[in-house]
Structure 1
């Protein structure tokens, strides 16, 4: 005797590049999917692939047990949730929010969802549409354990690299912002590096190749620095802060001599100077976080 696994009906709210990808992955996984998007033209290809299109978000949610939201931001989410009939339709449903937002917004929308009788999970996708559905696709999730357990089979259709960060719903958004801070900091450094390469007459494509080559080892280095901060032991283990102080000063000097925009190295040099002035020169480079901590306290 064979048993069939019940797959809950799903409403996907938002059919942009990522929302459409999520809907397709659910269809591929055998789910019954109803889609809604403000611009109905974006749902045409999904309907052709087997999805149902709803005339409004309330009707989409009424036909589903789980509601996946992937729109521009949390403000857009609440505008949609304020459509007539949506609040009543959410009673008993599970909302999986995969829209980027702040920790404060995640907490606010969870509270609102609970008032409507819905469970709520907040998530952050750490990949592009073309990278979805892979065994290692990273997705950050936070919220009540019972809601996460209910969402887990569906989330696994989106990617295998799931990280449930805990029951505090704001944690996924906070970790998402932390990783974005790393990404954008690295990206700005890379673009500044392009200007250094260009000013020296070197090929930019070769620079990109070199950066790709060092990325894995640099990731290990940063992981070590994170462990240093976590342990609280800043004894020199890989790289003294003093080396970075001098290195960043050289980057700043070169930018000025070559006539390159110096905003990025100027900020970095200022930060490392303050760390040196605080007496952290003979500690691991991770000690620069102490400056960031002290300055955040002073600004409160």
Structure 2
């Protein structure tokens, strides 16, 4: 299959290499074509411009620094003429609003558009379990799904709402960064108390699957709206987070992370949610989002 790759940073170059290895006819373009030399040596076709790259294939994968960089490339008369009747798979990381604006541009220029969010590092690409979140028109998605499985075996199609992939990407990254902040705080607490940090990491890895299952259960509770206790009463976490805060203060370390946790749970307690399932904490976030 003929496919073009625009953007040859570490991720874009990895995508092109995987596609070449799978036997696809790959055209590549980057603002600095020096980055294409290794790929050209491996059989890729160098394009003289972004428009030439788009014109060379029915499908173009784009993976550049951000949506501003993407717009600077795409919002060009020659590119806009070349994109008609073709499919653009946007793998640049951006916001839900970025996705909506990019899809509007593609529709205006009569191109198919699929929004993608890669949830792996370059070294993790091309595996059976490599996750790639996708959203957009189903016909366009089905047209490119086989091609995309070369770069990521775990395709997660989230439906036709074009901003779904970016939204889910931000949602899952919120979890990752929140967990990482907690991990760092825990590492510092262990360090101060003389606990083996490597052993701490081993234990965190071992408990991750069970907590993943617990979080999935909590998501189901939120979706159902039934906050009767089913796994963990919220009041237990009110006490637990307060104890972590106190232990951190006693250890003389930064308390911002446990203070945030304890504050959120205290708000839930004060709202009368102590004897509800822990997932009822979502109601604190819902109230916080209301204007005023």
Deviations 1:40-92 (A, max 9, x none): 22211111111111222111112111110011111111011134511111111
SS for the counterpart of 1:71 is: coil
What RMSD in Å do the two structures reach over aligned CA positions? 1.1
How many residues end up aligned between the 2 structures?
292
Tell me the distance in 2 between the aligned counterparts of 1:257 and 1:57.
59
Tell me the distance in 2 between the aligned counterparts of 1:158 and 1:234.
40
Does 2:230 match 1:222? Answer: no
Does 2:271 match 1:278? Answer: yes
TM-score (norm 2): 0.97
Tell me the distance in 1 between the aligned counterparts of 2:62 and 2:131.
18
Tell me the distance in 1 between the aligned counterparts of 2:259 and 2:227.
25
- Farther-moved stretch of structure 1 (158-167 vs 269-278): 158-167
Offset at 1:259? Answer: 1.8
Match of 1:232 among 225, 228, 237: 225
- Farther-moved stretch of structure 1 (240-249 vs 153-162): 153-162
What's the counterpart of residue 149 of structure 1? 142
Match of 1:206 among 195, 199, 205: 199
Deviations 1:226-254 (A, max 9, x none): 11111111111111111111111111112
Does 2:188 match 1:195? Answer: yes
Tell me the distance in 2 between the aligned counterparts of 1:46 and 1:259.
53
Matches within 5 A, 1:97-116: 97-116=90-109
SS for the counterpart of 1:59 is: helix
SS for the counterpart of 1:21 is: helix
Tell me the distance in 1 between the aligned counterparts of 2:249 and 2:208.
27
Deviations 1:189-237 (A, max 9, x none): 0001110001101111110011011111111111111111111111111
- Farther-moved stretch of structure 1 (173-182 vs 46-55): 46-55
SS for the counterpart of 1:297 is: coil
- Farther-moved stretch of structure 1 (84-93 vs 171-180): 84-93
What's the counterpart of residue 61 of structure 1? 54
What's the counterpart of residue 159 of structure 2? 166
Structure 2 gaps of 5+ residues are none
Match of 1:129 among 122, 128, 131: 122
SS for the counterpart of 1:298 is: coil
What's the counterpart of residue 236 of structure 2? 243
Tell me the distance in 2 between the aligned counterparts of 1:255 and 1:71.
42
- Farther-moved stretch of structure 1 (81-90 vs 23-32): 81-90
TM-score (norm 1): 0.95
